[in-house]
Amino acid sequence: MSGGSRRAATIRRGGPWVAAVLIVAADAYLCVRDPQDLDRLLINAMLALSAFATLHARLLSLASAGFAAIGAYASAILAVKLGLPVFLSIPVAVLLCGAVAMVISLPVLRLKDVYLAICTLGFGEIVRVSIILIPGLTGGSTGANLSTGFTYATMKQTRSWALALTLVAICYLFWSASRSRVGRALRAIRENPEAAETMGIDVVAYKNMAFLASALVAGLAGAFYAHSVGSLDNGDFKFSRAVDILGYAVLGGSGAWFGPVLGAGFLTALPILLRDGLGYGLGFLKDFAQFPNILNGLALMLVIIFAPGGIASAFPRAAEQRGVRRRDLVRPSAPAGAAEAPSRSTGGKGKVLLSVKGLGRSFSGLEALSDLSLDIAEGGIYGLIGPNGAGKTTLINLVSGLVPPSSGKIEWLGREIQGRRAHRIARAGIARTYQNIRLFGGMSVLENVVAGRHIRLRTSLAAAWLRLPSQRREEVEAREEAMGLLDRLGLSELADEDAARLSYGDQRRVEIARALALEPRLLMLDEPAAGMNERETSALGDFIVDLKRQGIAMLVVEHHMDLIMEICDEIVVLDFGRKIAQGAPAAVARDEAVLEAYLGRE
Amino acid sequence: MDSLLDVLGLEVRYGNIEAVRGLSFSVKEGSIVAMIGANGAGKSSTLLALSGLVRASGGSILFRGRDIAALRADRIVSAGLVQVPEGRAMLAPMSVAENLELGAWTRRYKSNFRDASGLQGVATDLERVYALFPALAERRSRLAGSLSGGEQQMLAIGRALMARPKLLLLDEPSMGLAPRLVTAIFETIGEIRRSGTTVLLVEQNARLALRVADSGLVLSHGRLFKEGYSAELLADPAIVEAFLGKA
């Protein structure tokens, strides 16, 4: 390595630490100078964490300012008008925020991305205008002196301490949750909600949870704010405030909890320091009242351009937090599977697991699949072949619950499952892979596979917060199981790599490992050998046969005919959404209709 | 025959991963060259570096004698090196005809695009693509996203041809295609070469690829493991054992 690049590496490693130290030092200086700034800083950090809670699950919500307003006014009104003790008014106000969040999450969380942002911005405006409309309680548009018992000098100190401890507690809760299966599920949703759902993760419930957490934290910040300023003004919670809060979280980085805290520290300190600094050195610029704001905006732009993932993404440890690491393992991983798995029938078929009856699906008049009936028995390998566009992937989408059928029934172990949400179907024991690979891109290979075990892990949020030994043991075991699967697929060397960086064929193998982590009884593989050469394909074939020995039934869509002919017990052929043949490989290979439609004649 | 492309000591790095480590090879004008190797050998990364979608971290890429390693991807296309990406990258909400017309986009740099002769040229090329892929002609007003996998692959190749490439890069054209279509696609690749376009082909279906190609490059761990005429490689026991499997 040349001197230049070594210097670059040193800057890369040390840079973020220097930045963090500078931010903390600047904030500490401000707080020592003026204790009022300490409160402002802590409250902003809390608001930043509220935005982090939603961003971490890729919900672009701007509702934090609205919830802060509810928290602030509710707490102040309770304390001043109803005479509730301040320390009681705060939790009551926070609970109110939670209730509001639960109500509005029903319609709002159906939206995505920029639509969600616009909608939550609307929510914030409704809250603010409502405050103006009830002047009797809130002081209306002129603001009201709702400040409370915290005004005495001694109480001020108590307030700052309470605020600081609360912030530390919130940081701890976020930190411990993000290291558990809960955080992993949220990251999986962030990377690919559809794949997360088919891994058995209840995407709607997790998104609701993230939104609720965000509302509670914002409400708490608002409540403290109410007791920290002399009087409340609805202008404190206007549109631009909502954008500021998002700015803290984005600048700091939504990948790790400490990012938003640093972001808030930076964006709170900068305008104050700029104003004062300009006051000393460049007095004439003070005439331009908005000048510090311009510099502030410029700083935000620069950070986003040079570190799009925010400050947090520049830390190597922050990057590691994305994934469980191989070195976390205490014991060497034992290959899971073949040995301990109950070895069931290898040739003859067991009982029927999945029974599809008269299944059909049309997309805007085009029949992708019509009147398909098919039984899949325990421990059987079923090949599904046919020309491109014949409806093979549609069948997998229907069975896995991503697409509801237009007609027909899907029975799993004798019970109808059509119309159920995908995560429930996954929980019943049906796993799949995707033709167009859908891995959790920003996560390590190992964490992808551990995310696949989600439904086999029991840890609750409470256990994660308490960091109970049982939870830690479960995490270690899940990693060992996952490493075992990676070993079996020849991927253990790549365990720590970012999944998105793998070659195409390796990504396919990771998908298979992730699906197996769910311990399915039926595994549906959509073109597992695409992008693999003949050697790799034949190794995959051996692996699939090995899975069959464990008693896993499989439905395999594939164009590699050598593979299909070798491993399948039965082959189903589709053409234009209809079944044109079904039977043993040798029979299907001779079938006139199949030769005509698919295989072609030499 | 002169060499159209000379790659010297190419390196591609993604963070800590060294995908391509000092790869050198040449492609002669008018030939078909197949690049084969295991997953993760660096084949796709090499193509991405050639077409400018990934910046090479070292080495040089001489195309028609000019170093294009630092050029922007669209400039590389207009210089005559065009890639058909893995996974086809359709413009799904646009029609087949619109996809093809956009393939001629870089030709707007040529001054004659706006006058009649230039437009005439695009129209003629459209007809040539439709002649090569009659299935696309039938579906010219259909949305690209509604095509089957095989048709999308044809469209991706057709769209690349609209840029009038001197060198066409194909990344796994047979992936996800039904067996009948695989044979058809390889026949088409032969036809493309006969019409004067040089082809560099990455393919997991190594046996078929070497049959249609004049020569082959075997990659392993980001380096050139072996190169030679297709017939030699197909007859080499070590290559058959490691990359081709049983016949």
- The tens digit of pLDDT for each residue in A30-62 reads 888 887 788 889 999 999 999 999 998 889 999
pLDDT digits (tens, 9 = 90+) for A1-21: 445 566 666 766 777 788 888
Under 8 Å between Cβ of A474 and A457? yes
> What pLDDT does residue A321 have?
42
User: Residue B94 carries which DSSP code?
Assistant: S
The segment with the largest mean pLDDT, out of A18-27, A532-541, A549-558, is: A549-558
Q: Give bridge partners of residue A456 from the DSSP assignment.
A: none
Confidence of residue A444 (pLDDT cuts 50, 70, 90): very high
Mean pLDDT of A236-259: 86
Q: H/E element holding A33?
A: helix A3-33
Sign of the alpha-carbon torsion through A229, A230, A235, A237: positive
The CATH classification number of A13-321 equals: 1.10.3470
Which residues from chain B sit within 8 angstroms of residue A497, using beta carbons? Answer: 17
Residues from chain A that touch B36, judged by Cβ atoms under 8 A, are 533
Contact A502 B243 (CB under 8 A): no
User: Is B149–A389 a contact, with Cβ atoms under 8 angstroms apart?
Assistant: yes
Residues of A in contact with B205 (CB under 8 A): 533-534
Token duo for residue B142: 């259909």
Average pLDDT over residues A307-317: 74
Any idea where the domains of chain A sit in the sequence? Answer: 13-321, 352-599
Closest CA to A323 of A465, A450, A155, A488: A450
Domain boundaries A352-599, corresponding CATH code: 3.40.50.300
A442 inside 8 A of chain B by CB? no
| Of A143 and A201, the one with more pLDDT | A201
The answer to whether A316 touches A13, Cβ cutoff 8 Å, is yes
Query: What pLDDT shows up at residue A193?
Result: 93
In the 8-state DSSP scheme, what is residue A336?
Answer: P
Nearest Cα neighbor of B130 from B108, B101, B165 is B101
Determine, for residues A501 and B151 on separate chains, whether the beta-carbon distance falls below 8 Å.
no
What pLDDT is recorded for position A223? 92
- Structure confidence at residue A331 (pLDDT): 42
pLDDT for residue B186: 92
Assess contact for B62 and B5: CB atoms under 8 A: yes
Structure-token pair, residue B46: 């090499």
> Do A600 and B175 lie within an 8 Å CB cutoff?
no
**Closest CB to A388 among B41, B44, B181:** B181
Q: Is A533 on the interface with B (CB under 8 A)?
A: yes
pLDDT at B119: 64
A144 pLDDT more than 70: no
Q: Please give the pLDDT value at position A231.
A: 78
Give the helix, strand, coil percentages of chain B, each rounded to 5: 45, 25, 30
| Position A335 confidence tier, pLDDT thresholds 50, 70, 90 | very low
* CA dist., res. A529 & res. A552, Å (int): 19
The reply to whether residue A534 touches residue B244, judged by beta carbons under 8 angstroms, is yes
Whether A35 contacts chain B with CB within 8 A: no
Q: What percent of chain A has pLDDT over 70?
A: 86
Distance CA A518, CA A513 (A): 9
Contacts of A392 in chain B (CB under 8 A): none
What's residue A372's pLDDT?
Answer: 94
Average pLDDT on A230-246 reads 84
> What would the pLDDT profile of B91-105 be if each residue is shown by its tens digit?
878 999 999 988 888
**Selected residue with higher pLDDT from A256 and A409:** A409
Residue in B with minimal Cα distance to A366: B146
C-beta separation of A171 from A261 below 8 A: yes
Would you state the pLDDT for residue A528? Answer: 93
The 10s digit of each residue's pLDDT in A448-466 is 999 999 999 988 888 888 8
Using the beta-carbon criterion (under 8 Å), do B14 and A538 form an inter-chain contact?
no
Task: Give ∠ CA A585-A590-A593 in degrees, rounded to 5.
Answer: 105
Could you tell me if A30 and A151 are in contact, meaning their C-beta atoms sit under 8 angstroms apart?
no
Within a 10 A sphere around the Cβ of A183, how many other Cβ atoms? 20
Q: Is A5 on the interface with B (CB under 8 A)?
A: no
* pLDDT higher than threshold 50 for residue A342: no
Query: Which of A503, A537, A600 minimises the CB distance to B179?
Result: A600
What pLDDT, in 10s, does the model give residues A284-293? 555 555 666 6
Helices B149-161, B96-103: crossing angle, 10 deg rounding: 30
Token pair, residue B246, equals: 């049983």
Which residues does residue A579 pair with via DSSP β-bridges, in sequence order? A574
Residue A505 with chain B: CB contacts under 8 Å: 38-40, 204
Inform me whether the pLDDT recorded for A147 exceeds 70: no
Tokens of residue A599, six digits: 């295989």
- Which residue in A501, A530, A537 is closest to B17 by CB distance? A501
Statement: residue A327 has pLDDT above 50: no
Give, in order, the Cα–Cα distances in Å from A226 to each of A158, A222, A240: 15, 6, 19
What confidence category does residue A189 fall into, taking pLDDT thresholds of 50, 70 and 90? Answer: very high
Distance separating the N- and C-terminal Cα atoms of chain A: 56
Instruction: Say what the pLDDT of residue A601 is.
Output: 67
Whether A582 has its CB under 8 Å from any CB of chain B: the answer is no
- Top residue of B39, B44, B48 to mutate, by most chain A CBs within 10 Å, is B39
Chain A residues within 8 A of B150 when measuring between CB atoms: 387-389
Task: Say whether pLDDT at A336 is over 60.
Answer: no
Burial track B45-79 (b if 16+ CB lie within 10 A, e otherwise): bbbbbbbbebebeebebbbbeeebbebeeeebbbb
CATH number given to B30-54+72-244: 3.40.50.300
| Cα–Cα dist A150/A240, whole Å | 28
Q: Compute the distance between CA of residue A456 and CA of residue A239 in angstroms, rounded to an integer.
A: 43
Q: Do A538 and B245 touch (CB under 8 A)?
A: yes
pLDDT at A4: 55
Is A551 at the interface with chain B, CB within 8 A? no
Question: Are B148 and A389 a contacting pair at CB < 8 A?
Answer: yes
- What pLDDT was estimated at residue B61? 96
Q: What percent of chain A has pLDDT over 90?
A: 48
Which residues, given as ranges, of chain B have pLDDT below 50?
Answer: 116-117, 247
Q: Which of B88, B142, B171, B180 to mutate to test the interface with A (most CBs of A within 10 A)?
A: B180
Are A387 and B178 in contact (CB < 8 Å)? yes
Give the residue extent of every domain in chain B: 30-54+72-244
pLDDT averaged over every residue in chain A:
85
Distance from CA of B222 to the nearest CA of A (A): 12
Tens-digit pLDDT profile for residues B133-188: 988 998 888 888 888 778 888 999 999 999 889 999 999 898 888 888 888 899 99
Task: Name the closest residue on chain A to residue B239, using Cα atoms.
Answer: A535
CB < 8 Å to B146, chain A: 366
